[in-house]
Amino acid sequence: MTVVLRAENITKRFPGVLAVNHVNIELEQGEILALVGENGAGKSTLMQILGGALRPDEGQIFLEGKLVTLNSPEDAIRAGISMVFQELSMVGSLSVAENIFANRQPTGRFNNVRWRDLYNETETFLNRFELDLDPRKPVKQLSMGQQQILEILKAISTNPKVLILDEPTSSLAEKEIQYLFENIRRLQSGGMSFIYITHKLSEVFQITSRVVVLRDGNFIGSKVVSEVTENELVSMMVGRQITNLYGARDELTESSEAYFRVEGFSRKKEFENISFSLKRGEILGFAGLVGAGRTELGRAIFGADRIDTGRIYLNGKEISIAKPDDAIQKRIAYLTEDRKALGLFLSMPVRENLIAPSLQAFTSPGGFMQSHKIDAFTNSKVDEYAIVTPSIYKKVLNLSGGNQQKCLVAMWMGIQPEVIIFDEPTRGVDVGARADIYRKLREFAAAGTGVIMISSDLPELIGMCDRIIVMHHGRITGELERDEFSEERILSFAAGLNDKEILNPPGYQDIAG
């Protein structure tokens, strides 16, 4: 095996932080190397150095044995290292073709873009990946998943020797993930090498052959994937033994009453005739593929979107929820899957965020905010939820992803909810913070609050839930009790198959279309 990329002694300091500390990394040709670690472990910094976006303070990078200096991402691409960032860089109003060949369009004599060539080349390129997309289509008309795939294809189109992928599946649906993996394997057998950054340990085992763990900027270890267990990896990442991430469950007692009930919920084009009930202390999972209508259902129960038909009962009485404030008054909390866009007030301090849904509780009869009460409340929540922040006056923007998520949880637990609807509780959250969030949910459940947990992370659903409802195309297709849980069964319901067909699962369909 030949080593295609070797980074020696890479060190990077930021004011007050040693982000990467004398790290060595080697990548062989045709290898898929996983890079894991908690947020702040130095993964992104290290990859930005390899991708030319940052310059190291110390250390050297060798590409195919030759020392290279990478001053910009363009340098790196020219040398043969392409990087796909988590954030999408597509220009929505421009076509698929112009995005893939941004700044590399075929041009004529007067530097004019030769449109026909551009579209033809794009079509040929997309065909190589069996992607049936119109090169002329503006990117904003594509789904998030398709855009993310395009982002990766754009990097591949520069024909790199090394492709760095940073959380490439964060907004992909299951079959899109499979599509991506198939193509990664194909390119791998053609000799391309990959560095794969991920939070999802299941993906490490699915697609990568070797895994490197970083913690606090230090190299912790390198393992062959087939010789390591998930628990070992987690322990390496957090630096302490984590035996049971999901915590110990309290058995639901026979007397647990179904106190919250949703009946006949329908909203055109999103979900149809959804009915279920929730018991006190129960953690009820909602599984399904992206687009199954779970998020939409959660929003509708909370009153964020209007329903066409349906009723909600709480403690035996019908309640009417027309807007989020109605739900909050009934102490129903909805924690969004998109904390940055929909959940938090990033430019505001932790203090202001934590009280956002419960302003009323901190208002004097005259309508004025009670500062001392707010300070006491927010300080106690920061302690209780182990939110790492220098003070309650720090902007949420400056916290890590895990701490932001803890802010979101603390903010909504502040309304002392009777019902919690939690959409993707741990998306983009590192293992340490995940354990904290799970522990909090367990505490609430143990105190009698019912939790509706919408999640795309199957191990999380199986580890946390008492019962799982599966949705497909806006309908409930299955319901599993604890002793019936298995990833296969959930996936088959999610794909809209009935139980018998599990024996012969059909192939994944093309993602385009």
Partner 1 sequence: METGTFTQALGTRIKTIVAVREFSLVAVLVIFGIIMTIVSPVFLTWPNLEAILLGLSVEGTIAIGMVILLISGGLDLSVGSTLAFTGVFTGLALMSLRLPSPIAILFGLLAALTVGFVNGILVSKLKINPFITTLGMLSTVRGLLLVLARGRAVLNLPESFTVIGQGRLFGVQYPIYVMLVAVIIADLLMRNSRYFRQSYYIGANERAARLSGINVDLVKILNYCLVAVLAGVAGLLITARFGSSSVTVGSGVELRVLTACIIGGASLNGGEGTVFGAFLGALFMGVLANSLNLLGVDVYWQNLFTGLILIIAVVVDVINERRKSSQK
Exposure pattern of 133-167 as b/e (b: 16+ CB <10 Å)?
bebeebbeebbebbbbbbbbbbbbbbebbbbbbbb
3-state secondary structure (DSSP) of residue 355:
coil
Query: How far is residue 214's CA from residue 237's CA, in Å, rounded to a whole number?
Result: 7
Residue 353 C-beta: closest distance to partner 1, Å = 9
Phi, psi of 29 (to 5 degrees): -65, 135
Q: Which two tokens stand for residue 491?
A: 């996936």
Residue 409 C-beta: closest distance to partner 1, Å = 14
Residues 459-498 that bind partner 1 (CB under 8 A): none
Query: How far is residue 33's CA from residue 14's CA, in Å, rounded to a whole number?
Result: 26
Task: Tell which one of 119, 194, 271, 302 touches partner 1 (CB under 8 A).
Answer: 302
3-state secondary structure (DSSP) of residue 486:
coil
Query: How far is residue 337's CA from residue 179's CA, in Å, rounded to a whole number?
Result: 24
| Nearer of residues 9 and 416 to partner 1, judged by Cβ | 416
3-state secondary structure (DSSP) of residue 487:
helix
Q: Terminus-to-terminus CA distance in the chain, angstroms?
A: 40
Q: Which two tokens stand for residue 167?
A: 């959380």
Q: Tell me, what amino acid is at 175?
A: K
Q: Which two tokens stand for residue 82?
A: 């392409």
Going by C-alpha positions, the residue among 36, 31, 71 that lies closest to residue 53 is 71
| Nearer of residues 357 and 450 to partner 1, judged by Cβ | 357
Q: Establish if 258 lies at the interface with partner 1 (CB under 8 A).
A: no
| Nearer of residues 80 and 343 to partner 1, judged by Cβ | 343
Q: What angle do CA 380, 383, 388 make, to 5 degrees?
A: 130
| Nearer of residues 252 and 342 to partner 1, judged by Cβ | 342
Residue 498 C-beta: closest distance to partner 1, Å = 36
Task: Tell which one of 15, 316, 365, 507 touches partner 1 (CB under 8 A).
Answer: 15
Query: How far is residue 292's CA from residue 472's CA, in Å, rounded to a whole number?
Result: 5
Task: Tell which one of 327, 420, 441, 476 touches partner 1 (CB under 8 A).
Answer: 327
Residue 38 C-beta: closest distance to partner 1, Å = 17
β-pairing, 467-472 vs 475-481, is antiparallel
| Nearer of residues 118 and 413 to partner 1, judged by Cβ | 413
| Nearer of residues 92 and 393 to partner 1, judged by Cβ | 393
Query: How far is residue 404's CA from residue 70's CA, in Å, rounded to a whole number?
Result: 33
Angle of helix 431-446 versus helix 230-238 axis, rounded to 10: 100
Residue 398 C-beta: closest distance to partner 1, Å = 5
Window 343-382: contact mask with partner 1 (x via CB under 8 A) = xxxxxx---x---xx-xx-xx---xxx-x-----------
Q: How many residues bind partner 1 (CB under 8 A)?
A: 34
Which stretch, 66-74, 114-122, 124-132, 335-343, contacts partner 1 (CB under 8 A)? Answer: 335-343
Query: How far is residue 189's CA from residue 238's CA, in Å, rounded to a whole number?
Result: 33
Residue 275 C-beta: closest distance to partner 1, Å = 24
Residue 393 C-beta: closest distance to partner 1, Å = 7
Task: Tell which one of 276, 334, 385, 438 touches partner 1 (CB under 8 A).
Answer: 334
For residue 365, count other CB atoms closer than 10 A to its CB. 5
Q: Which two tokens stand for residue 429?
A: 């959250």
Residue 411 C-beta: closest distance to partner 1, Å = 8
Task: Tell which one of 104, 128, 186, 323 touches partner 1 (CB under 8 A).
Answer: 323
| Nearer of residues 411 and 462 to partner 1, judged by Cβ | 411
Query: How far is residue 152's CA from residue 511's CA, in Å, rounded to a whole number?
Result: 14
Residue 51 C-beta: closest distance to partner 1, Å = 20
Residue 366 C-beta: closest distance to partner 1, Å = 9
Task: Tell which one of 149, 163, 328, 464 touches partner 1 (CB under 8 A).
Answer: 328
| Nearer of residues 397 and 446 to partner 1, judged by Cβ | 397
Window 390-419: contact mask with partner 1 (x via CB under 8 A) = ---x---xx---------------------
β-pairing, 210-215 vs 218-224, is antiparallel
Residues 16-55 that bind partner 1 (CB under 8 A): 16
Write the CA distances from 231 to 85, 240, 432, integer angstroms.
28, 11, 13
Write the DSSP symbol of residue 363.
B
| Nearer of residues 64 and 326 to partner 1, judged by Cβ | 326
| Nearer of residues 205 and 345 to partner 1, judged by Cβ | 345
Q: Which two tokens stand for residue 119?
A: 């579209």
| Nearer of residues 359 and 446 to partner 1, judged by Cβ | 359
Task: Tell which one of 18, 242, 304, 314 touches partner 1 (CB under 8 A).
Answer: 304
Write the CA distances from 380 to 109, 328, 411, 414, 434, integer angstroms.
68, 21, 12, 11, 20
| Nearer of residues 210 and 339 to partner 1, judged by Cβ | 339
Residue 160 C-beta: closest distance to partner 1, Å = 30
Task: Tell which one of 1, 248, 341, 503 touches partner 1 (CB under 8 A).
Answer: 341
Residue 45 C-beta: closest distance to partner 1, Å = 13
Query: How far is residue 169's CA from residue 185's CA, in Å, rounded to a whole number?
Result: 15
Site residues for partner 1 per CB under 8 A: 14-16, 302, 304, 323-325, 327-328, 334, 336, 341-348, 352, 356-357, 359-360, 362-363, 367-369, 371, 393, 397-398
